[in-house]
Amino acid sequence: MREARGGGKNVIPAQAGIHLSGAGAVDKRIPAFAGMTASICRALSESSAASAVRRFFFLLVAIVVAAPAWAGCGVVAGGGARLWRAAAQPEQSVAITFLGHASFLVESPEGVRIVTDYNDMIGAPVTPDIVTMNNAHPTHYTERIDPGVKYVLRGWDPAGGVAAHRIEYRDVRVHNVPTNLREGNLRDFGQTRYNGNSIFVFEVAGLCIAHLGHLHHTLTETHLAELGAIDIVMVPVDGAWTLNQEDMIAVLAQIKPAIVIPMHVFTAATLDRFLARAAERYQIRHMPEPRMLVSRAELPAEPEIRVLPGR
């Protein structure tokens, strides 16, 4: 079955927004100073033997204790600077395995398993805890879900609204950023399907990993803000069924990841064209195995493309 091509530029970017809804869409983030305001105020108002140094020390301790252990992907206001807020945890690694087409197995340090673009055509080697499906096409989704899967995250809303996911499971957080699709025949490319795709962002092992899904347009500042500071991007490079290669490289320049992993390749010639276009910006590494381990400490100083074997 063929996919709707997306090589043109007539898709209007979706209005990005995380709209929390449903039983599983609960934002579990807690403000860093939650519950600390009263204690800080009492300490600062002391006028007895407590010296100014003691009060200042107490304030510093309160701030450190209140800071979350895992700050996650974030946006820093002011000039649009997008910075990583360091995680206060031991160095850990995430395992990423390319299963084929747009499907990856992502494994967290605590053993949480995520499969992207879960579908019937590319079998998952394990029963995942979380599955994502970026758009309603047979190579990107299925209605036949293994009963052992705990979270099923669709990149579109079957009821016609806007998909909204923000979950936390053990040492993993996942949220989505909706984008648009173009559909129709190869000649006129059809109509725009608003919010028909989602970029999924996985926060795991102190890293932010984005799967761009079936992206058909460049990103707005709102999209970028909702993505946060991304370290690793899984990017479709076919240049026909999704965004054309030139504009897809422009999207990567918008996101500024340290590592780019090509997917949605189809042919070796298609991959070669993408790599040739991207070579001015990225070091190219052909990995020997479809599985790789990545930690924050091992992120490259200069951005690179890591080609995992398989199609």
Residues 238 and 296 in one domain: yes
The answer to whether the beta carbons of residues 198 and 156 sit under 8 Å apart is yes
Number of neighbours of residue 297 by Cβ within 10 angstroms = 9
- The dihedral built from the CA positions of residue 261, 210, 252 and 187, taken in this order, carries a sign that is positive
pLDDT tens digits for range 144-173: 888 999 999 988 788 888 888 899 999 999
Note the pTM of the prediction, 2 decimals.
0.73
Is the domain of 47 the same as that of 193?
Answer: no
Residues 283 and 225 in one domain: yes
How many domains are there within the chain? 2
**Distance in angstroms (rounded) separating the CA atoms of residues 295 and 265:** 26
- CA distance readout (Å), 127 to 105, 115, 144, 212: 10, 9, 13, 23
Question: Residue 306 has what pLDDT?
Answer: 98
State the residue range of the domain holding 212: 93-307
Rounded CA separation 167/176 (Å): 10
For residue 236, tell me if it sits in a domain.
Answer: yes
Per-residue pLDDT at 81: 42
pLDDT for 189 equals 54
180 and 123 belong to one structural domain: yes
pLDDT per residue as tens digits for the range 225-234:
999 999 999 9
- Whether residue 171 contacts residue 109, with contact meaning beta carbons closer than 8 Å, is answered with yes
pLDDT at 54: 56
In terms of domains, do 256 and 194 share one?
Answer: yes
- Low-confidence residues in the chain, pLDDT < 50: 1-44, 46-47, 49, 52-53, 56, 58-71, 75-88, 184-188
